[in-house]
Amino acid sequence: MPSKIKGHGRTGRPWRRKAAEVRASFSPCWLCGDPIDYTLPPNHVWSFTVHHKVPLAVAPWLAHDRSNLVAAHRRCNSLQGDRLGRPPTPTSRTW
């Protein structure tokens, strides 16, 4: 039996550490390629967020995998949601 995944992978000390690493890279937005203003307040639409290249909904075990974490604008991140990184399904409507 698979072990229970606690929370959504965005809590706790390991997560905060990884998020800080991504932030410290001062990378441009992985989704749109534009630079991120790292001085913006966290709730700003263009502020920095950590984005999962492979969405947690697809691969929750990659929640803390540094190679799966990239910088993204809050807005871009929320626009993509869980869709990005998921391979396009050939049959989008099977039902």
Least separation in angstroms between residue 61's CB and Zn ion is 26
Least separation in angstroms between residue 46's CB and Zn ion is 8
Least separation in angstroms between residue 79's CB and Zn ion is 9
Q: What's the CA gap between 79 and 61, in Å, rounded?
A: 23
Confirm if 62 and 54 have CB atoms less than 8 A apart.
Answer: yes
Question: Which residue sits closest to Zn ion, CB atoms considered?
Answer: 29
Neighbours of 57 (CB within 10 A): 13
Binding residue (CB under 5 A) for Zn ion from 29, 50, 63, 69: 29
22 contributes a contact to Zn ion by CB under 5 A: no
Please report, for the chain, how many H helices and E strands are present, in that order: 2, 2
* Residue spans of beta strands (DSSP E) within the chain: 48-52, 69-73
Enumerate residues 30-89 that contact Zn ion by CB under 5 A: 31-32, 73, 76
**Which residue ranges make up the site for Zn ion (CB under 5 A)?**
29, 31-32, 73, 76
